[in-house]
Amino acid sequence: MNRPTNRPTGHDVILALNAGSSSLKFVVFAAQDGDSALAEGLVDRIGSDAASIRLRDGAGADLPVAEGRPADHAAALQLALDSLSAALPDARVVAVGHRVVHGGTTFRGPVIVDEPVMAQIEALRPFAPLHQPHNIAGIRAAMAAFPGVPQIACFDTAFHRTHPWVNDTFALPSSFYDEGVRRYGFHGLSYDYITSELHRIAPLIAAGRVVIAHLGNGASMCAVQNGRSVASTMGFTALDGLPMGTRSGQLDPGVVLYLMDQRGMTTAEVRRLLYEKSGLLGLSGGLSNDMRTLESAATPEAQQAIDYFVFRIQRELGAMAAAMGGIDALVFCGGIGENSRLIRARVCERTEWMGLEIDHGRNDRNETIISSDVSRGHVMVIPTNEGLVIARAARDLLNLGGSTT
């Protein structure tokens, strides 16, 4: 892909990056407007011999990719750019947007990255030691690849900074709150997208009390009242709330004390247990963290994992609705929320008391509105689009023009 000159062209693009521990997701959007991606891809297993890259065009068709076994995020970005050069030969990157997991209490929206901002993002490392370093590596790699091109940081915590204090704190001595031990909430880019999309397609629903269930490999729920987040199932880290692919979700903190004091587990061992070996993987007896595999497996353990996942969603749904004094709509998104008819149907088996009833035909057809005609509240399925939220932030902050809705 081309580096920028001062000459505006019709091929100006925004590159949106999501750098994980061993992966780099990238999406390319036209700089000025348009909600459809021009291309998107994933470099996976960075740093291993099995590293791979996948690239698709805007319609989802696979495209040829460059060869490479990237050892780090900088090499992964180069591999992505080499592959994109063939797919979009005239594209000129005018901004790079980044998903950054933690914005602390400082960042309440996206920002243009400069060295002082970078220092603040670096200072938040201890709050997200498993994510923030990789996000930082992604920004540094993009700064080196595109010198002088604006870098935009978009924070997963920012959407939740509207929480009332009771949903922002733990019942610890208040000095801990002051030093930043708070319920931050995550998946904010996804919730931001769903809220804007709901506002576009159903403004009356968007003005009400909405629970969004982002159910993917990571999973959380958010109570959104009149477009603002008031509560979320995730807290200080992305470990709280719902069980996930490999993460435990909510846990009595006494369990951690027991594991360390009585079982002699080290911090690293407990971290590995809670982040990598628990959730659906742990409950299914090590079978899989992948919902598709669990749904097709006939083992009692797979069934139990699904039962627990569904039950905790139902429980948190009640909690999120209570935070708003009721519920007008439930929106499913994320890989499981968008695709699993079974999970959506099972969650809604126990929601009639709150006025939510699904139509099984609509659910089976994956329609946008899957509630029945007699349901008091709406149940919806909206595919999320975190990359587009990043591109819109870049357009807004840099005044790139065009529609941002």
Residues 197-226 that bind ligand AMP (CB under 6 A): 216-217
**Run of H or E residues at 211:** strand 209-215
Look up residue 7 and give its DSSP letter: S
Q: How far is the CB of 135 from ligand AMP (least distance, A)?
A: 17
Q: How far is the CB of 364 from ligand AMP (least distance, A)?
A: 12
- Quick check: is 252 catalytic? no
Would you count residue 303 as binding ligand AMP (CB under 6 A)?
no
Amino acid at 75: A
- Which residue is closest to ligand AMP by CB? 335
Instruction: Give the nearer residue to ligand AMP in terms of CB position, either 90 or 349.
Output: 349
Amino acid at 195: T
Instruction: Give the nearer residue to ligand AMP in terms of CB position, either 82 or 295.
Output: 295
φ and ψ at 28, to 5 degrees? Answer: -115, 130
Strand ranges of the sheet holding 12-19, from the earlier edge strand across to the other edge: 52-57, 39-44, 24-30, 12-19, 92-100, 151-155, 111-112
Would you count residue 18 as binding ligand AMP (CB under 6 A)?
no
Pick the piece of the chain touching ligand AMP (CB under 6 A) from 6-14, 287-295, 353-361, 368-376: 287-295
Residue 380: which of 160, 217, 213, 191 has the closest Cα?
Answer: 213
Pick the piece of the chain touching ligand AMP (CB under 6 A) from 53-61, 231-239, 285-293, 388-396: 285-293
Torsion of CA 167, 173, 178, 182, to 10 degrees: -30
Catalytic residue, chosen from 44, 57, 90, 156, is 156
Q: How far is the CB of 217 from ligand AMP (least distance, A)?
A: 3
Would you count residue 279 as binding ligand AMP (CB under 6 A)?
no
Residue 189: which of 153, 239, 138, 136 has the closest Cα?
Answer: 153
Instruction: Give the nearer residue to ligand AMP in terms of CB position, either 138 or 218.
Output: 218
CA distances 310 to 36, 153, 229, 230, 340, Å, are: 32, 34, 23, 23, 12
- The 152-191 site mask, x for binding ligand AMP (CB under 6 A), equals ----------------------------------------
Would you count residue 340 as binding ligand AMP (CB under 6 A)?
yes
Would you count residue 336 as binding ligand AMP (CB under 6 A)?
yes
Is beta strand 92-100 parallel, antiparallel or unpaired with respect to 151-155? parallel
Would you count residue 295 as binding ligand AMP (CB under 6 A)?
yes
* Tokens encoding 30: 């036209």
Write out the catalytic residue numbers. Answer: 156
Name the site residues for ligand AMP (rule: CB under 6 A): 216-217, 245, 290-292, 295, 334-336, 339-340
